């Protein structure tokens, strides 16, 4: 049995954060675990959505236009794809944000690429969503 | 402040190349690389959906590109990246619960990630190809 770790009361362990700061628990980035948590939520949702989507995609091998379109027009398949796209682009934007923050030097460049990342995610997401809706409602 | 003489001449900590590659470290790097690949790979899905929305002619045009040897190669790589990131993601979710941090489990989970991603990719393509004919 391991004994629970307790902070040693010594001058080196003096709490320097204010009580209010500790209660808010958001840290210097003012976001707390927000990024971490959203990354996990979209990880789980993408995981759950991508498996059925992949199974459907495998079934499309060798299928013609009419067959593929008919399948994607099924409401359940359309909704699955819409959720997958939404979940996927959200997740990938968060992931790429970390990559940019890790490797891009200079504040100006960093802001530029962080913006580009958001624009890319929204552009890819809305283009895909528009296409799915057009297929679904297009008759 | 951020670019004063002191900070600019300060030595940087050694990067990845000074370490002997370990399986968990390689899987960590691959998780990031596959994530970045999937990021741009979404363009393939978006293009395919747009093609389908466009009509049979354009859909067949895009389908022929995806069905070419080069297209298949890219899609095979995309499948592997997806499976690797997916299985690696499950490994991370297990770690998020605070479990599996002893070296033995870390190594086991890492090997399961690479083996699982390769096996599942080959299986998916076998099913896809066998289902075709």
| Residues of chain B neighbouring A95 (CB-CB closer than 8 A) | 35-36, 39
pLDDT at A5 over 70: no
Q: Is A18 left (phi over 0), alpha (psi -120 to 50) or beta?
A: beta
Q: Which residue of A has its CA nearest to B66?
A: A61
How close is the nearest chain A Cα to the Cα of B101, in Å?
Answer: 16
Both tokens assigned to B114: 């690479």
Region B41-69 average pLDDT: 96
pLDDT in tens, B74-89: 999 999 999 999 999 9
ipTM score: 0.86
Distance of CA B94 to the CA centre of its chain: 18
Confidence of residue B1 (pLDDT cuts 50, 70, 90): very low
Contacts of B60-64 spanning 24+ positions with Cβ under 8 A: B60/A65
| Residues of chain A neighbouring B30 (CB-CB closer than 8 A) | none
Confidence of residue B8 (pLDDT cuts 50, 70, 90): low
Q: Which residue of A has its CA nearest to B130?
A: A61
Task: Identify which of A43, A47, A92 has the shortest CB distance to residue B38.
Answer: A92
State the CATH class of domain B24-132: mainly alpha
Confidence of residue B133 (pLDDT cuts 50, 70, 90): very low
Q: Which residue has the tokens 């970045």?
A: B36
Residue in B39, B44, B55, B84 to test binding to A, most A beta-carbons within 10 Å: B39
Contact A58, B131 (CB under 8 A): yes
Region A110-138 average pLDDT: 97
- Which DSSP letter does residue B17 get? G
pLDDT at A8 over 90: no
Q: How far apart are CA A63 and CA B54, in angstroms?
A: 17
Q: Which of residues 49-68 of B touch A (CB under 8 A)?
A: 49-50, 52-53, 56, 59-60
Q: Which of residues 26-45 of B touch A (CB under 8 A)?
A: 32, 35-36, 38-39, 42-43, 45
Q: Which of residues 60-119 of B touch A (CB under 8 A)?
A: 60, 82, 86, 89-90, 92-93, 96
Q: Which residue of B has its CA nearest to A121?
A: B39
Please write down the HEC assignment for all residues of chain A: CCCCCCCCCCHHHCCCCCHHHHHHCCCCCCCCCHHHHHHHHHHHHHHHHHHHHHHHHHHCCCCCHHHHHHHHCCHHHHHHHHHHHHHHHHHHHHHHHHHHHHHCCCHHHHHHHHHHHHHHHHHHHHHHHHHHHHHHHCC
Q: How far apart are CA A132 and CA A86, in angstroms?
A: 12
Cβ of A47 within 8 Å of Cβ of B89? The answer is yes
Q: Which residue of A has its CA nearest to B62?
A: A65
Instruction: State which residues form the domain around A58.
Output: 33-137
pLDDT at B59 over 70: yes
Q: List the one residue out of A136, A137, A131 whose CA is nearest residue A73.
A: A136
Cβ of B32 within 8 Å of Cβ of A99? The answer is yes
Total number of domains in chain A = 1
DSSP for B30-63, written as a single string? HHHHHHHHHHHHHHHHHHHHHHHHH-HHHHHHHH
pLDDT in tens, A51-89: 999 999 999 988 999 999 999 999 999 999 999 999 999
Q: Provide the residue ranges of all domains of chain B, joining segments of one domain with +.
A: 24-132
Q: Which residue of A has its CA nearest to B89?
A: A43
Task: Look at residue A26 and tell me if it is in a domain.
Answer: no
User: Environment class of residue B112 by beta-carbon count within 10 Å: exposed (0-12), middle (13-18) or buried (19+)?
Assistant: middle
Q: What is the pTM of this model?
A: 0.85
Cβ of A131 within 8 Å of Cβ of B89? The answer is no
Contact B52, A72 (CB under 8 A): yes
């Amino acid at each position: 049995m391991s004994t629970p770790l307790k902070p040693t009361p010594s001058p080196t362990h003096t709490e320097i954060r204010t009580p209010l700061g500790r209660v808010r628990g958001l840290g210097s980035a003012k976001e707390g675990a927000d990024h971490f948590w959203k990354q996990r939520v979209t990880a789980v949702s993408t995981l759950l959505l991508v498996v059925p989507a992949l199974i459907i995609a495998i079934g499309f091998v060798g299928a013609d236009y009419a067959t593929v379109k008919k399948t994607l027009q099924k409401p359940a398949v359309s909704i699955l794809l819409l959720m997958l796209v939404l979940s996927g682009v959200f997740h990938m934007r968060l992931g790429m944000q970390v990559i940019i923050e890790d490797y891009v030097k200079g504040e100006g460049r960093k802001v530029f690429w962080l913006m580009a990342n958001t624009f890319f995610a929204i552009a890819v997401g809305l283009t895909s969503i528009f296409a799915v809706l057009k297929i679904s409602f297009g008759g | 402040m951020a670019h004063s003489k002191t900070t600019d001449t300060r030595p940087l900590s050694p990067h990845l190349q000074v370490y002997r590659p370990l399986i968990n470290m390689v899987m960590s790097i691959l998780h990031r690389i596959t994530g970045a690949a999937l990021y741009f790979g979404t363009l393939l899905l978006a293009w395919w959906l747009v093609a389908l929305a466009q009509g049979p002619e354009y859909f067949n045009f895009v389908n022929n590109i995806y069905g070419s040897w080069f297209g298949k190669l890219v899609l095979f790589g995309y499948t592997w990246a997806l499976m690797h990131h997916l299985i690696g993601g499950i490994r991370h979710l297990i770690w998020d619960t605070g479990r599996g941090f002893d070296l033995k489990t870390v190594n086991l989970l890492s090997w399961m990630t690479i083996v699982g991603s390769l096996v599942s990719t080959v299986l998916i393509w076998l099913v896809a190809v066998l289902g075709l004919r």
